[in-house]
Chain A
Amino acid sequence: MSRLCMAAAAALLGAVAGCGEGSIPGASGSAEATSGGSVGGQGTAAAAGSHGVTQAGAQDFGLFRQVLDAGKVPAPNVLDDLGFFAEHKLDYPKATCGQDLCMHGLVGSMGNMITGANCTIVQIGLNTPLDAATLPRPPLDLVIAIDVSGSMQGEPIDFVREGLKRMLDYLDKEDRLSLVVFSDSADALFQGVGIDQKTKLAGLIGQIQTSGQTNLYDGLFTAYQIAAKQQGKGRSARVLFLSDGAANVGLQVRAKLRALAKAYALQGIGLSTIGVGKEFDVEAMRDVAEAGAGNFYFLEQPKAAAEVFTDEVKTAFHALALDAKITFRPAKGYAIRGVYGTHGWVGGPLGGVISIPALYLAKRTDATASITEGRRGGGGAILIELIPLAGVPDKAIGQLEIQWRHPVTGKVDGQVAALVAPHAPGQAPPEGWFSAPTVEKGFVMLNLFAAFQMACAQAFDADAGAARGVLQALKPQVTKWLKVRADPDVADDMKYVDKFLDALVKLSAQTPIQVPADPWPAD
């Protein structure tokens, strides 16, 4: 068991306080923040205008918001870093690298906003000089699989019908549409109908009816079978999968859904998933989208169906890169503590690889622009948290490398970046140091995510007081930062910090405290 012992020791080493996890004074109840200093006031905003690039996987944290909007405390699995970061637009330096994809390796170091413990992060940003409006794409065979089980009856299916009809306007006339409906079993309502027959399509979409249970596997399997048949030279194929429930008939092994999506993604058929309502299997839909090299959306309200369908058509069908791999090896003065904003990290303290099945254009182009149509499409970032190792004078932070495959030509391309700080590991000035202003936002975003995640875990573990302590420690720090940097994403996040605190107050009052049997039960 010696290797397990060593690995456990390494894991314990990794658990020391850093950006994402800290020791809050007091086992329960409120805690005071130990400030690490201001993170505002440095540099100028990076150039806006280049399109961000987003990974396959969750594109929002809508379910988390919905739970808080309802005055409840989200369970720990509800918040996903990929989805949370994707709703934050980070402006990277203009994409002038001369390739379709430009990688920006940025660095920041300062005390975290929860406990003040040192936090050094490498922020990996991706953007592109390409624009969805001018980017050519091959004709598409789109297969949409819709859950028509009984629970979709009424408003949900009405909005889905409406969203599908509106989506037709954003498809090209060479594109073709197939529609699979599934409940107890799956059926193809129509296959390969050209978008030029909009009236016919609208009529067929209008015929969708609801009844029965939810056979997720058959629905996805049937959609892929159709997409695979239609996939031809010079055309691309994609599946859009929408459900409001968890599988209750058919092959109900969740992992098999993921395996199916992954296997077809390798054959070039992408998948995006959409969860509707409160009852759908959020982990299954999120994981399947990520495995299927596509996006996962959550519809807080059925009427958002139109927005999601059109967003998907506008951006997600423009794959910029496939099978991307980002390698990071820290210099000898640092060890990796954690990696956020991706589910594809495989590695340890001394380095590893992030695998991303597909990269797409993100919708938003400016971090400072007010949010009018929802925060989806920010692009997000991947953040690598480092532990500075004491006594190493080397200022090098590490080396970053990316490789990807062009979705049309199949050509493999790549970039390399060496990261260096102006100070030795752990020797950042009290006010912090950031290699670019956008790292500040990445830093704040990571602190918010870490605080939300810690608060969820602690509240779920019957420690609502400690959860409040985390958020109360974070709140003044972020508020201070917002005074210097007006940021619509972070300002919106803060609304949810307040809602979370309110929900925790309620939860504290409701948490049952068991006590030993009273020796004098009545006397």
Chain B
Amino acid sequence: MAPAARPPALRPWSALAHPLWLASLAFMVANDHVFKGSGLLPGWLTGKLSDVTGLLVAPLVLAVLLGVRSRRGWVAANVAVGGFLAAVNLSAEAAHGWAWLTEFTPLPWRRMVVDAGDLAALPALLVGGWVFGRAMATGPGALATGPGAQANGAAVLASGPAMLAARPHPRLPNALRWAALASAGVFLLGNETSEPIGGGIPVSGVSFTAPFGIGNGTTRGLLLRVRPLRKGVAVDCAAVKAKPGLLLSRRLFAPAAVWGVDSTRTIDFSRDTLPAGDCAAYLIDGGTADGLAKVPMTLAFWIKSEWPARSIPGTVPSSGQTDLFAVAADNAGPLAWRSHPALFAPPPSLDPGPAPGCELPGDATGVAWQLPLPTGTHTIVERQQAPDGCTALDLAGKTNTQRWFVCLPPGALPFDSGDTITLAATSKGQAFGPIDGVEITGDGKLVRLGRGNDLVYFGKGKGKFAPKPGCDGHFDACGALGVALGVELTDVDGLASKVLAPGQAAAVGKGRTLWVVRAQDQITGDPKCLGTSAAVPASRLIESVYVEVP
């Protein structure tokens, strides 16, 4: 008994040259990039074409990528595509799951629409399954030299799939097939919006991926003003978490961006403004679009690791949702925010003043030096002192004389006209550093000045920082909050344990003096108000000077 003849292996690769597939791909691209929104075709038609062409193109791409060789495999590819379409259009959870998965790809889907109406396009799978199934079974035919080779995409569509199925398809160079396959893959993955057919009734707004959204749970349109933190503002997230409304000043926030939010819709309010640090803060208020009612101001604050980004539906759910800050109206009463663990009372309109004795040094106080630093060895041609503590040193180098300014506590610069000095940058802190600093040396003398989260290096000894008792904080002119620190010096030879306040100095050895110019914990910081263009450490700001005079 002769064995039954095995059906020939399918060659999906060959079907990539099929005119219907190529025409579908071309039409899908043209539809999304030319027809949609152009007014050339009605909206319901472009939506329909998008779905139909997608269902014609996608199964064959999948079959090629998976190396399908059997009819069973081809059917499975079609079922997989159909099943995917059905799942994301019937289940918000499935759509959100897919959106979450695509976050790990270069083409994340962030605008999913759950719409059962899309399922009306499913019969296109049957057409594609039959036409391309035959094509991949017969392989390339002689039509490449026949009259059918002249058929263009439009004619193919017009003549109907049945006719096309009966015809062998043309030869196509492999390079072109690869190009078509790649473009189909990219387009299918990048075509993230699934659209309803025939203007079907939407069941959801556009979902997005973010830690939180804001939802309009009222029956009226809202205009919301959303203010992110100003650029450059640093926040000690762990400290602020305790009382965000009291520790963040309104002045730390940037001007508002205005969002228009229709009833029941949600917005991705942190889009493009989520800060790079460990936490995020937004000051939000607004009102109804008609101006008749206000949305009270609220402060959104969260630690990013505690609230990772997730897929958020485009429509406010009827029940409370943890990833949504929702505005609601109490039976046409005043608008209010639904209670949420990441929403807080906003900061007061005026920052409170510091307790007596807890004031921080103003921005005019502090070490400073002119940049760029003229590193190397110079002779001081002239030294001119100003009463604000800044000194102008006219430095003669090998080729020219230049003026360099440095600002130090009075008596902390033991160099004069005629001295030769060497300038160098330093990052050496007392305990762990690094700091941003300068070393001036010459004639056995040394001045080391710096700013950072540690004292400048002063040799043997330790410096410990502790808040001044009774000092809660001081908001500066930019709204940044600092807490005054005392610096306790221990293990210093010849010096009993001593606490230095900013502005004080202590001998830390023979001919060795340490000045503490500024010492504060920065709960929040803004370089603009700290007298420096350098980055502000998130938690501690120490400015100090160490002088050695033999």
| Interfacial chain B residues near A2, Cβ < 8 Å | 472
Cβ of A520 and Cβ of B195 under 8 Å apart?
yes
Cβ of B388 and Cβ of A519 under 8 Å apart?
no
A12 contacts partner chain B, Cβ-Cβ < 8 Å: yes
The smallest beta-carbon distance between B39 and chain A, in angstroms, is 10
B499 contacts partner chain A, Cβ-Cβ < 8 Å: no
Within 8 A of B (CB), among A149-190: 185
The smallest beta-carbon distance between A342 and chain B, in angstroms, is 16
| Interfacial chain A residues near B314, Cβ < 8 Å | 516-517, 519
Cβ of A263 and Cβ of B258 under 8 Å apart?
no
A262 contacts partner chain B, Cβ-Cβ < 8 Å: yes
The smallest beta-carbon distance between A41 and chain B, in angstroms, is 34
Of the listed stretches A400-408, A419-427, A433-441, A461-469, chain B binds A461-469
Cβ of B388 and Cβ of A256 under 8 Å apart?
yes
Within 8 A of B (CB), among A499-523: 511-523
* Complex alpha-carbon distance, A516 and B270, angstroms: 12
B160 contacts partner chain A, Cβ-Cβ < 8 Å: no
B84 contacts partner chain A, Cβ-Cβ < 8 Å: no
Cβ of A523 and Cβ of B43 under 8 Å apart?
yes
Cβ of B258 and Cβ of A514 under 8 Å apart?
yes
Of the listed stretches B119-127, B163-171, B282-290, chain A binds B282-290
Of the listed stretches A22-30, A105-113, A365-373, A391-399, chain B binds A22-30
The smallest beta-carbon distance between A351 and chain B, in angstroms, is 14
Within 8 A of A (CB), among B472-490: 472-473
Q: How large is the interface on A (under 10, 10 to 19, 20 to 34, 35 or more residues)?
A: 35 or more
The smallest beta-carbon distance between B22 and chain A, in angstroms, is 24
B443 contacts partner chain A, Cβ-Cβ < 8 Å: no
* Complex alpha-carbon distance, A453 and B222, angstroms: 26
Cβ of B405 and Cβ of A217 under 8 Å apart?
yes
Within 8 A of A (CB), among B196-232: 196, 199, 202, 204-206, 208, 223, 225, 227
Cβ of B260 and Cβ of A517 under 8 Å apart?
no
Cβ of A517 and Cβ of B111 under 8 Å apart?
yes
Of the listed stretches A133-141, A247-255, A313-321, A442-450, chain B binds A247-255
Cβ of A251 and Cβ of B368 under 8 Å apart?
yes
A522 with B348: in contact, given A255-B362, A460-B255 (CB under 8 Å)? Answer: no
Tell me which of A7, A9, A512 contacts B353 (CB under 8 A): A7
Q: Which residue of A lies closest to B356 (CB)?
A: A3
Of the listed stretches A198-206, A218-226, A294-302, chain B binds A218-226
B533 contacts partner chain A, Cβ-Cβ < 8 Å: yes
* Complex alpha-carbon distance, A7 and B350, angstroms: 10
Interface string of B368-380 (1 = CB under 8 A from A): 1111000000000
The smallest beta-carbon distance between A10 and chain B, in angstroms, is 7
| Interfacial chain B residues near A28, Cβ < 8 Å | 223, 286-287, 291
B37 contacts partner chain A, Cβ-Cβ < 8 Å: yes
Interface string of A1-26 (1 = CB under 8 A from B): 11111111111101100000100001
* Complex alpha-carbon distance, A462 and B225, angstroms: 7
* Complex alpha-carbon distance, A254 and B473, angstroms: 24
B295 contacts partner chain A, Cβ-Cβ < 8 Å: yes
A1 with B246: in contact, given A27-B293, A513-B260 (CB under 8 Å)? Answer: yes
Cβ of B255 and Cβ of A4 under 8 Å apart?
no
Of the listed stretches B54-62, B261-269, B457-465, chain A binds B261-269
Cβ of A15 and Cβ of B350 under 8 Å apart?
yes
Tell me which of B268, B291, B403 contacts A29 (CB under 8 A): B291
| Interfacial chain B residues near A218, Cβ < 8 Å | 392, 403, 405
Cβ of B386 and Cβ of A224 under 8 Å apart?
yes
* Complex alpha-carbon distance, A514 and B533, angstroms: 33
Cβ of B390 and Cβ of A260 under 8 Å apart?
yes
B364 contacts partner chain A, Cβ-Cβ < 8 Å: yes
A348 contacts partner chain B, Cβ-Cβ < 8 Å: yes
B432 contacts partner chain A, Cβ-Cβ < 8 Å: no
Cβ of A12 and Cβ of B348 under 8 Å apart?
yes
Cβ of A461 and Cβ of B206 under 8 Å apart?
no
The smallest beta-carbon distance between A289 and chain B, in angstroms, is 15
* Complex alpha-carbon distance, A185 and B402, angstroms: 9
Within 8 A of A (CB), among B246-266: 246-247, 255-262, 265-266
B409 contacts partner chain A, Cβ-Cβ < 8 Å: no
| Interfacial chain B residues near A460, Cβ < 8 Å | 255
Cβ of A253 and Cβ of B531 under 8 Å apart?
yes
| Interfacial chain A residues near B473, Cβ < 8 Å | 4
| Interfacial chain A residues near B351, Cβ < 8 Å | 11
Cβ of A11 and Cβ of B350 under 8 Å apart?
yes
Within 8 A of B (CB), among A215-246: 217-218, 221, 224-225
Interface string of A451-465 (1 = CB under 8 A from B): 000000000111101
B44 contacts partner chain A, Cβ-Cβ < 8 Å: yes
| Interfacial chain B residues near A348, Cβ < 8 Å | 353
A259 contacts partner chain B, Cβ-Cβ < 8 Å: yes
Cβ of B208 and Cβ of A4 under 8 Å apart?
no
A389 contacts partner chain B, Cβ-Cβ < 8 Å: no
The smallest beta-carbon distance between A54 and chain B, in angstroms, is 24
* Complex alpha-carbon distance, A23 and B509, angstroms: 62
Cβ of B292 and Cβ of A517 under 8 Å apart?
no
Cβ of B368 and Cβ of A514 under 8 Å apart?
no
Residue in A256, A258, A462 whose Cβ sees the most chain B Cβ within 10 Å: A256
| Interfacial chain B residues near A263, Cβ < 8 Å | 386-388
Tell me which of A5, A11, A262, A521 contacts B36 (CB under 8 A): A521
Within 8 A of B (CB), among A461-516: 461-463, 465, 511-516
Cβ of B291 and Cβ of A522 under 8 Å apart?
no
Tell me which of B259, B266, B369, B470 contacts A514 (CB under 8 A): B259
Within 8 A of B (CB), among A259-293: 259-260, 262-264, 266-267
Cβ of B256 and Cβ of A519 under 8 Å apart?
no
| Interfacial chain A residues near B267, Cβ < 8 Å | 514-516
Cβ of A26 and Cβ of B259 under 8 Å apart?
no
Q: Which residue of A lies closest to B195 (CB)?
A: A523
Cβ of B259 and Cβ of A513 under 8 Å apart?
yes
Cβ of A465 and Cβ of B531 under 8 Å apart?
no
B66 contacts partner chain A, Cβ-Cβ < 8 Å: no
* Complex alpha-carbon distance, A217 and B348, angstroms: 37
The smallest beta-carbon distance between A30 and chain B, in angstroms, is 8
Interface string of B91-132 (1 = CB under 8 A from A): 000000000000000000001010000000000000000000
Cβ of A461 and Cβ of B255 under 8 Å apart?
yes
B294 contacts partner chain A, Cβ-Cβ < 8 Å: yes
Tell me which of B195, B287, B348 contacts A15 (CB under 8 A): B348
Q: Which residue of B lies closest to A347 (CB)?
A: B353
Cβ of B472 and Cβ of A3 under 8 Å apart?
yes
* Complex alpha-carbon distance, A348 and B44, angstroms: 66
A8 with B246: in contact, given A14-B350, A250-B370 (CB under 8 Å)? Answer: yes
Cβ of B405 and Cβ of A4 under 8 Å apart?
no
The smallest beta-carbon distance between B317 and chain A, in angstroms, is 15
Q: Which residue of B lies closest to A338 (CB)?
A: B350
B524 contacts partner chain A, Cβ-Cβ < 8 Å: no
B133 contacts partner chain A, Cβ-Cβ < 8 Å: no
B305 contacts partner chain A, Cβ-Cβ < 8 Å: no
B363 contacts partner chain A, Cβ-Cβ < 8 Å: yes
Cβ of A258 and Cβ of B43 under 8 Å apart?
no
* Complex alpha-carbon distance, A55 and B419, angstroms: 44
Show 23 A/B contacts (Cβ-Cβ < 8 Å), sorted by A.
Answer: A1-B243, A3-B352, A4-B247, A8-B246, A11-B349, A27-B288, A27-B294, A30-B291, A253-B368, A253-B531, A255-B364, A259-B364, A259-B390, A348-B353, A462-B258, A463-B258, A512-B257, A512-B258, A515-B262, A517-B206, A520-B47, A520-B113, A522-B47
- A27-B288, A256-B407 known; 14 other A-B pairs, CB under 8 Å? A7-B353, A8-B352, A26-B287, A26-B292, A221-B384, A253-B531, A256-B388, A259-B388, A264-B386, A461-B225, A463-B256, A517-B314, A519-B204, A520-B199
Give me the 6 closest cross-chain CB pairs, A-B, nearest first: A27-B287, A7-B352, A522-B36, A29-B291, A259-B364, A523-B43
Chain B interface residues toward A at CB < 8 A: 36-37, 43-44, 46-47, 111, 113, 193, 195-196, 199, 202, 204-206, 208, 223, 225, 227, 242-243, 246-247, 255-262, 265-268, 285-288, 290-295, 314, 347-353, 355, 362-366, 368-371, 384, 386-390, 392, 403, 405, 407, 470, 472-473, 531-533
